[in-house]
Chain A
Amino acid sequence: MSKTLIRGAKVLGGEPQDVLIDGGTVAEVGSGLSAEGAEVVEAGGKVLLPGLVDLHTHLREPGREDSETVLTGTRAAASGGYTAVFAMANTFPVADTAGVVEQVWRLGKEHGYCDVQPIGAVTVGLEGKKLAELGAMHESAAGVTVFSDDGKCVHDAVIMRRALEYVKAFDGVVAQHAQEPRLTEGAQMNEGVVSAELGLGGWPAVAEESVIARDVLLADHVGSRVHICHLSTAGSVEIVRWAKSRGIRVTAEVTPHHLLLTDELVRSYNPVYKVNPPLRTERDVLALREALADGTIDIVATDHAPHPHEDKDCEWAAAAMGMVGLETALSVVQETMVDTGLLDWAGVAERMSFTPARIGRAEGHGRPVSAGEPANLTLVDTAYRGPVDPAGFASRSRNTPYEGRELPGRVTHTWLRGKATLVDGKLT
Chain B
Amino acid sequence: MQRHLISAADLTRDDAVLILDTAEEMARVADRPIKKLPTLRGRTVVNLFFEDSTRTRISFEAAEKRLSADVINFSAKGSSVSKGESLKDTAQTLEAMGVDAVVIRHGASGAPYRLATSGWIDAHVINAGDGTHQHPTQALLDAFTMRRRLVGRDAGLGQDLNGRRITLVGDVLHSRVARSNVDLLHTLGAEVTLVAPPTLLPVGVETWPCEVSYDLDSTLPKSDAVMMLRVQRERMNAAFFPTEREYSRRYGLDGDRMARMPGHAIVMHPGPMVRGMEITAEVADSDRCTVVEQVTNGVSIRMAVLYLLLGGAEFQTAGTPAAPARTAEEN
Contacts and interface: CB of A to CB of B under 8 A. Distances in A.
B108 A196 contact: no
A319 B109 CA distance: 12
A204 to B, nearest CB: 7
Interface in B100-126: 106-111, 113-114, 117-118
A316 B204 contact: no
A192 interface: yes
Given A200-B109, A311-B84, A316 B203 contact: no
A196 B208 contact: yes
A191 B203 contact: yes
A313 B118 contact: yes
Nearest to B131: A199
A202 interface: yes
B202 A195 contact: yes
Interface residues of A, number: 25
Given A193-B207, A199-B176, A315-B108, A269 B84 contact: no
A189 B192 CA distance: 27
Contacts of B134: 199
B281 to A, nearest CB: 31
Interface string B161-204: 00000000000000010010000000000000000000000111
Interface residues of B, number: 29
A363 interface: no
A43 B114 CA distance: 46
B242 to A, nearest CB: 18
Interface in B67-116: 82-85, 87-88, 106-111, 113-114
B83 A318 contact: yes
A319 B84 contact: yes
Interface in B210-239: none
A189 to B, nearest CB: 10
Nearest to A317: B108
Nearest to A311: B84
B113 A269 contact: yes
B205 A196 contact: yes
B110 A269 contact: yes
Contact of A315 (B110, B132, B207): B110
B130 interface: yes
A326 to B, nearest CB: 25
B133 interface: yes
A198 B109 contact: yes
A314 interface: yes
Interface in A313-347: 313-319
A25 to B, nearest CB: 50
Interface string A247-272: 00000000000000000000011100
Contacts of B88: 313-314
Contact of A196 (B107, B117, B204): B204
A234 to B, nearest CB: 16
A198 B134 CA distance: 8
A316 B114 contact: yes
A202 B201 CA distance: 12
Contacts of A194: 204
Given A192-B204, A195-B202, A315-B108, 5 more contacts: A193-B207, A199-B134, A200-B131, A313-B85, A313-B118
19 contacts: A191-B204, A192-B203, A198-B109, A198-B110, A199-B110, A199-B132, A199-B179, A200-B133, A204-B203, A268-B117, A269-B109, A310-B85, A314-B87, A315-B110, A315-B111, A316-B109, A316-B114, A317-B107, A318-B84
Interface of B: 82-85, 87-88, 106-111, 113-114, 117-118, 130-134, 176, 179, 202-205, 207-208
